[in-house]
């Protein structure tokens, strides 16, 4: 509990620090606080999308790392555990487009299948 509270205190000063979030993720999941963890990761995801609108670029990483594929997968796993399947699909689609530098292609959101990835 003390470690959890300490990491949450750090996040008040560095709210989107992925190093802290990664350490906190295990603690929150083990204590059954998946909703809190998903909320923190969702906010970090939105922050990184705004900060790096053209996708993830390792040369412009902020301190603490950048939101990448593993973070998108972790967030979607949390959302699935919360039975938020529609939100999980949205994060996968948006996250992959963003990581690929295609965030502006949001017209794919209206497509109910995965033809976005057809050759």
Number of neighbouring beta carbons within 10 Å of residue 36: 16
18-32 per-position pLDDT tens digit: 999 999 999 999 999
- How do the pLDDT tens digits run along the chain, 119 residues long? 899 999 999 999 998 999 999 999 999 999 999 999 999 999 999 998 888 887 766 665 544 357 888 999 999 999 999 999 999 999 999 999 998 888 889 899 888 888 888 87
Phi-psi region at 64: left, alpha or beta (left = phi > 0; alpha = psi -120 to 50): left
């Amino acid at each position: 509990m003390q470690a959890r509270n300490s990491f949450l205190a750090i996040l008040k000063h560095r709210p989107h620090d992925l190093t802290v979030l990664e350490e906190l993720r295990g603690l929150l999941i083990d204590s059954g606080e998946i909703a809190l963890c998903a909320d923190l990761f969702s906010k970090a995801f939105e922050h990184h999308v705004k900060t790096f609108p053209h996708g993830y670029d390792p040369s412009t990483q902020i301190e603490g790392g950048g939101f990448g594929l593993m973070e998108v997968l972790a967030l979607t796993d949390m959302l699935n555990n919360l039975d938020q399947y529609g939100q999980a699909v949205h994060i996968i689609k948006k996250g992959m487009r963003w990581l690929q530098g295609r965030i502006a292609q949001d017209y794919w959101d209206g497509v109910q299948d995965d033809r976005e990835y057809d050759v």
